[in-house]
Chains A and B, each alone.
Chain A
């Protein structure tokens, strides 16, 4: 870690128990104070993270509309979901979004990181151009992209086409993916750049002295060493992908095959007041994300 500052010389001698401290009793009192320091965070966690997390499992087995008491329905919510075309479609929309957005975004970020990881006059400026969308807000970006994706908007005029990006089932999901790639590339670029800088330079130089060209160095030195970071990036990409909500709300309102899981849960819970059913989706999402993360972490361990 960053902070390994040396203590003032005097402090060395202070390792001994402070005089008159009364041994272990004093220590125990101090540790209790230490525990008290963690309490604000722990109480907040217990109330607003742990409790809801346990409750989501419980609620998924009930029919609950927030105002009247929950009614036990067992696995009915899950049974309903697996037969519900709208739910399955939203699962498909989320999967499509994750793959089509984050696949290219991660790949592009990797390529850009490899290109930007050199010392060049002006490369700091170029990095900024790619980072900027990361520092903005999703809703604001989506409002802007609504205009970009208009039939007479920037995208069509640049490509010299007149595609109905936001009003057709064929194009809407691609349109959102394009906007999302633009927004997210910089995020993964930052992580890849940090990862690249942690690769010891002497390894590169040794390979280069052995006569390895830049492509061979990339293939046999850089990419293998970047693997742990790549796994982190992929896990984050999947989680971020399934969290998507704002671009669908602002760009299409979930029409034209862009109703992703989050939007489905939102509508089920708050428009239809089906809290139990929405909780069942959350449970399924939780299991899905856990599985994906687990598989990716295993892949990392195997390769390491």
Chain B
């Protein structure tokens, strides 16, 4: 699991077939590239529509390039909708949920892998079992609970129920398990308490899985729509997906298309950039959820 998808394919793999069928390979590659460009054309179309004058967007026959490049369209979501507020809310919720997950999952992962208390394995199994149940199945009673707690339309409602994850605990347990016990014993002999060991011995060696976890949680949370719609639907607590969907609903058929395209692109940009920079970690995160080691 240490070497991600990206890295491993970069090493010479099958020189035999490569030498034998160079032409076939090139044809396959060109087909794959063409398909990839078709995929990417959707982004390009959205980006160009965001800077077009409104009346050129649905012109027929279609023209890719705008007659004038209206970069100012990217300011529209901030002027005509509380877009900065959505952004801020999404960032606050995303960062809090991510930090909380890294902390709770690392603690639990350390606990489940390096201590021998009674019931440990049963507790871990219960946690794993919840991996099988999608949030969608429980969101009605979960909402009722959050409602009773008075957390509807609050950041607590948006953050606390997502503050830990079965996937994260599983990931951290698997990672910390590989850490030699001798290392922990050595620290104990030196008189270090368990928290100190976690902070100074375990955590520094777990930077990589923690980063993979952080990325995966942040991206998942940034995409989250249904739960924020339930517990954060007042003006002060709407996140990007909720706000964007509301903007779309209020703009049906009107001249707001450049604004909507600009807003959509701005909304997907942070995770897309994060992914481009840290793709290996993200791929690790996904393949870990799929249980591939």
Contact = CB atoms under 8 A, between A and B. Distances in A.
Nearest to A239: B134
B244 A269 contact: no
Given A118-B18, A157-B62, A38 B290 contact: no
Contacts of A147: 45-46, 49, 57, 257, 260-261
B72 interface: no
A32 B120 CA distance: 11
B174 A41 contact: no
Q: How large is the interface on B (under 10, 10 to 19, 20 to 34, 35 or more residues)?
A: 35 or more
A153 B289 CA distance: 36
Interface in B160-177: 160-161, 163-164, 166, 169, 174-177
Contacts of B33: 122, 126
B59 A53 contact: no
Q: How large is the interface on A (under 10, 10 to 19, 20 to 34, 35 or more residues)?
A: 35 or more
B1 interface: yes
A137 B5 contact: no
A197 B39 CA distance: 24
A204 interface: yes
Contacts, number: 373
Contacts of B175: 1-3
Contact of B138 (A53, A120, A182): A53
Contacts of A208: 16-17
Contacts of B116: 31, 34
Given A12-B182, A45-B127, A148-B42, A275 B140 contact: yes
B83 interface: no
Interface string B84-97: 00000000000000
Chain A contact residues: over half helix, strand or loop, or mixed?
Answer: helix
A162 to B, nearest CB: 9
Contact of A249 (B25, B49, B163, B245): B245
A270 B227 CA distance: 12
Given A118-B18, A133-B39, A229 B183 contact: no
Contacts of A12: 182
B13 A144 contact: no
Contact of B36 (A11, A129, A204): A129
Given A1-B178, A37-B111, A118-B13, A135 B58 contact: no
Interface of A: 1-8, 10-12, 14-15, 18-19, 30-38, 40-42, 44-45, 47-53, 55-56, 59, 64, 66, 112, 115-120, 122-124, 126-141, 143-148, 150, 152-154, 157, 182, 185, 187, 190-191, 193-195, 197-198, 201, 204-205, 208, 214, 229, 232-233, 236, 239, 242-243, 245-246, 249-250, 253, 262, 265-266, 269-270, 275, 278-279, 282, 285-286, 289-290, 293
The 6 closest A-B pairs by CB, nearest first: A34-B115, A129-B36, A135-B275, A2-B2, A11-B182, A38-B111
